[in-house]
Amino acid sequence: MWRLLREGIRFYRPVLLASWGFGVGIFFLVIAIIAVVGSVHDLNEMIRAGVQLPTAILISSMIAGFIALGTEKGENRVRLHVTLPIPIGQIALARILTPTALLLLGLAAAHVAFAVLFAVAGSPAVWLRHLTLDFIAVQLLFWLQVALALREIIELRHRARWPGALGSKAILIGVISLMVLIQLGPWESVTIRIAVSAALVALVMAFTVALFLRCTQFTS
């Protein structure tokens, strides 16, 4: 599993770096436009907020994760991995951990950018801003994993009878509803939101692995 994960990160590293460059480039383009046509107050407020650049890095990392999912589907990399002498369970884990690792690398880069911006501009409650960034990251990771789970449900529907996929759809819809409640509900503690969201992410990942193993059984 770790070998597949390392190879996946190395394979998609240029995509991740290109996504970061694109996101950071858009951020500085917006800064330049505001500097030209906006007021000094608007420019100072945007820089002082210190959230746009880290968020751009996170979104770019999620886009890299979606590109990884699309490339895996287009190149039939799973079919190639199945031919290797690696347990099918480890292949399933590597599939969900590769886009996760890309987003976590983006989270680390976003925290570094956050720290630099706050060191330059200065702001109170820095730790709270970092927690907010973590909450954004776990939400992006959730929807990235949901996309992978949806792919497995579609695959299951094609390989099994239609009723066999109804239960999986109901479970995924229930988990998505819980995430929406976390995002929109009257939760005051960011830490609790992060913990519950991370638990839902882990649940979706386990669910995706189970679906992958079931689809593999139908194939065999």
Q: What is the pLDDT of residues 88-127, one digit of tens each?
A: 778 888 888 999 999 999 999 988 888 877 776 655 445 4
Per DSSP, the three-state class of 90 is: helix
CA 111/CA 35 separation, integer angstroms: 25
With CA atoms as reference, report the closest residue to 100 among 65, 48, 66: 65
Q: Is the pLDDT of residue 159 over 70?
A: no
With CA atoms as reference, report the closest residue to 208 among 79, 70, 96, 94: 96
Four-residue CA torsion sign, 78, 79, 83, 88:
positive
Stated pTM of the model: 0.81
Half-sphere exposure of 210 (CA within 13 A, CB side): 11
Buried/exposed code over 3-16 (b: 16+ C-beta within 10 A; e: otherwise): ebbeebbeebeebb
- Per the listing, tokens 């239960």 go with 167
Q: Are 67 and 12 in contact (CB under 8 A)?
A: yes
Q: What is the pLDDT at residue 79? A: 63
Q: What is the pLDDT of residues 31-41, one digit of tens each?
A: 777 667 766 56
More confident residue, 185 or 128: 185
More confident residue, 38 or 211: 211
- In the 8-state DSSP scheme, what is residue 85? S
- What the block records as the tokens of 9 is 């990160």
Q: Is the pLDDT of residue 30 over 70?
A: yes
What are residue 85's phi and psi, to 5 degrees? -75, 60
- Per the listing, tokens 């991370």 go with 198
- In the 8-state DSSP scheme, what is residue 50? -
Question: Within the chain, where are the H helices?
Answer: 2-37, 40-49, 52-75, 77-82, 88-121, 126-159, 163-184, 190-219
Average pLDDT over residues 202-210: 91
CA 7/CA 66 separation, integer angstroms: 17
